[in-house]
Structure 1
Amino acid sequence: MTDLLSKFDPLIQEREALLSTGVADPYAVVMEEVKSPTVAICNGRETILLGTYNYMGMTFDDDVLHAGKQALDDFGSGTTGSRVLNGTYQTHKECEDALKEFYAMDHAMVFSTGYQANLGMISALAGKGDYVIIDIDSHASIYDGCSMGNAEIVAFRHNDVEALEKRLRRLPEEAGKLVVLEGVYSMLGDVAPLKEMIALCKQYGAMTLIDEAHSMGFIGENGRGVAEAAGVIDDVDFILGTFSKSVGTVGGFCVSNHPKFEIMRLVCRPYIFTASLPPSVVATAATSIRKLMHAGNKRAHLWENSKRLHQGLRDMGYRLGTPEAQSGIIAVMVEDMLEGARLWQALLENGLYVNLARPPATPLGMTLLRCSLCAEHTSEQVTQILGMFEKAGKEVGVI
């Protein structure tokens, strides 16, 4: 009998070799208690959280928590059904209304996760005979959405405007074309040159879908993402995002001004065939989204934190994923998985949690420690974080 798991043997061996060095499993951290958006108890120790994507720190907001508790009392623990059957409650409509107001767009559609939002939108929009043009560093959910829709996938070099134009120029003029881009790329924290790319898409007759998962709430004057900051939000066909980052809960969404958008509710399989989010979750999301409309001071503080941490790490001698702070993500690049794991563990033992990212999730086979800042990190915590990176880096020999 063929062992269907044998194809994972190289990964199993790599993991066993890493753990045999005495390094803790970086993918099995348990948070025994979460005290705030920035502090938790990990392995019995108070730990600063720098790897949670909780950019705007909404997970413990009093209004958000109250809305969730009230919805739990009013509507129960779950819907037990899909959005197209019994799974649309008043709370789901209110959440979509909040999204429409936040983005100033005509239509909004809430999915059960951000992954499913990409899976549903891309697979429904681009099918057999169509082309999906994507950045080679796109998130797994974007690749999976392309595969599910049977469209022809055309990838171009990361953030390369010229490479995008070459791909678009070669495609049949009459073919359906969807260009999928991310505002912020989650591994290195770099930003897409959307102004130039959206102009090219219009020139070549391609529709556009921008995934603003890592920029919604934080980047742009109103927190609408990189498309807003680049001044092209009105030229984008679809904006997609998640509730699991700045919004502080779970779920996904897509907003659009396209006049035919509502038909997507009847053609997106991940929307149709998945139970809808519990009413308490969408109630917290709606409350959080409405508060993010007026979070200019929090956005400014997060930018301060990001710029200060980036500069401090660079001054210590760390190699970073971007030349300057471009988002709430700062990627510390290391030589290999073992060095990365040792630095990750040294940081954890010093009271700091970050993400250890490895291939194939990372571009170009890199290993990196990914830091994601929060608007609730105090200036004092950023000072502590820098001290922890200096101490751990010297212990491991990275700096």
Structure 2
Amino acid sequence: MSEGISQPDAPVQAEGNATDLFSKFDSLIQQREALLANGVEDPFSLVMEKVLSPTRAVCNGRDTILLGTYNYMGMTFDPDVIAAGKQALDDFGSGTTGSRVLNGTYGGHRDCEQALREFYDMDHAMVFSTGYQANLGIISTVAGKGDYVVLDIDSHASIYDGCALGNAEIVAFRHNDIDSLDKRLGRIPEGAGKLVVLEGVYSMLGDVAPLKDMIAVCKKHGAMVLVDEAHSMGFIGPNGRGVAEEQGVIDDVDFIIGTFSKSVGTVGGFCVSNHPKFEILRLVCRPYVFTASLPPSVVATAATSIRKLMQGTEKRAHLWENSKRLHGGLKALGFQLGTEEPQSAIVAVIMPDLERGAAMWEALLKEGLYVNLARPPATPANMTLLRCSLCAEHTAEEVETILGMFERAGKAVGII
């Protein structure tokens, strides 16, 4: 499952009949130790010593091109965004020290929610402290015991965790399979509450869901629909509202979940909706009620970024060009990719196994390129992937440089 939940081994008893609660992780510990024993730098402990721009950082003392962030629209260094954050720090301090339902709602939180309503042209918006909490909160609150959540088998971990927290029955269907979704919905008892959770772009392979056909199936069965647009907001769709907008079905979606940690360029999460009873969620959603609200500087940067993304047509067009060039160039070099054609800002390069994937990751880092090494169980079908995430601030010249780095590293490691 894509960024889903691993199932660790059962704990074993240590000496004195005490159960070692860490024994469930032994296989993972051994795998990591074997990887490091081969002299490979730990791919999951990289430190960025200085971030120079949305596309470059100093890693291990070297100027490195960043191709493994979710900074799709390059908003992290936007002058207006930074200025808004600095002003909020001066005016409101570093944090709220409280929940949204107590002392943690400032003017900036309401303004950020207003920016989201404007961006999506929807009636309601609710900001969470992280994107993970947005899925956790909305799913667990809307779908409770006795209800059914129908989801794609490759759904994000936060979606699975939201189901578990709400005690809903989980029904999974085959990835992006419309017939499988139809059959699963058809087996749910008559009269039961049904929530179908879909993602616009799936984060591991960068593939897009056939939302138009899937939502038609959901409506046929009387199910509510939640779409996670974390990896498409700001980039896909005429106004950057995501895959649901691109496929013309945004008005048929009951809830859209998103995050500030990708195209918006900061941290936080949200849900937007037109449901007339939506506002009651502020009082009953535990991951919203029982956590501290975002710092004033964060919601100020988010609101500014969201409003600028509304005028991001040229940046969206350039990001598409970057994605098409990188995908086509890697395919021409002989790399196996996660999709036949570019579908999003994510280009996944499939590796033969974890060992050679780690070696390729390290070879690219030595070239001066950072990408994500993704491994099972976070990846579908037990794949090892080098996941590349493009940015609207990557120049055409940088993309050509990246292709050269992949060619040299791939030949050195024996991947191509």
Match of 2:243 in 1: 226
| Unmatched 5+ stretches in structure 2 | 1-17
Matches of 1:308 and 1:266, distance apart in 2: 47
Matches of 2:402 and 2:32, distance apart in 1: 28
- Alpha-carbon deviation of 1:173? 2.4
Match of 1:213 in 2: 230
Partner SS, residue 411 of structure 2: helix
Matches of 1:75 and 1:265, distance apart in 2: 23
Match of 2:375 in 1: 358
- Alpha-carbon deviation of 1:2? 1.5
Matches of 1:172 and 1:235, distance apart in 2: 23
Please tell me the root mean square deviation across aligned C-alpha atoms, in Å.
0.4
Match of 2:39 in 1: 22
Partner SS, residue 148 of structure 1: helix
Match of 1:81 in 2: 98
Match of 2:286 among 269, 274, 277: 269
Q: 1:245 aligned to 2:262?
A: yes
Match of 2:317 in 1: 300
Match of 1:381 in 2: 398
Match of 2:333 in 1: 316
Q: 1:133 aligned to 2:150?
A: yes
Percent identity for Structure 1 against Structure 2: 79
Matches of 2:195 and 2:284, distance apart in 1: 17
Match of 1:65 in 2: 82
Q: Deviations over 1:239-267 (max 9, x none)?
A: 00000000000000000000000001011
1:165 counterpart letter in structure 2: D
Matches of 2:53 and 2:313, distance apart in 1: 21
Partner SS, residue 204 of structure 2: coil
Matches of 1:167 and 1:331, distance apart in 2: 29
Q: Deviations over 1:279-305 (max 9, x none)?
A: 000000000000000000000000000
Partner SS, residue 319 of structure 1: coil
Q: 1:120 aligned to 2:137?
A: yes
Match of 1:90 among 81, 89, 107: 107
Match of 1:174 in 2: 191
Aligned length: 399
- Alpha-carbon deviation of 1:335? 1.0
Match of 1:35 among 52, 59, 72: 52
- Alpha-carbon deviation of 1:10? 0.6
Q: 1:392 aligned to 2:416?
A: no
| Unmatched 5+ stretches in structure 1 | none
Match of 1:159 among 176, 200, 225: 176
1:293 counterpart letter in structure 2: M
Partner SS, residue 48 of structure 1: strand
Q: 1:333 aligned to 2:350?
A: yes
Match of 2:203 among 180, 186, 195: 186
- Alpha-carbon deviation of 1:90? 0.2
- Alpha-carbon deviation of 1:237? 0.2
Matches of 1:158 and 1:261, distance apart in 2: 29
Match of 1:44 in 2: 61
- Alpha-carbon deviation of 1:172? 1.5
Q: Deviations over 1:325-364 (max 9, x none)?
A: 0000000001110010000000000000000000111011
Q: 1:367 aligned to 2:384?
A: yes
Match of 1:55 in 2: 72
> TM-score, with normalisation over the residues of structure 2?
0.96
Q: 1:344 aligned to 2:357?
A: no
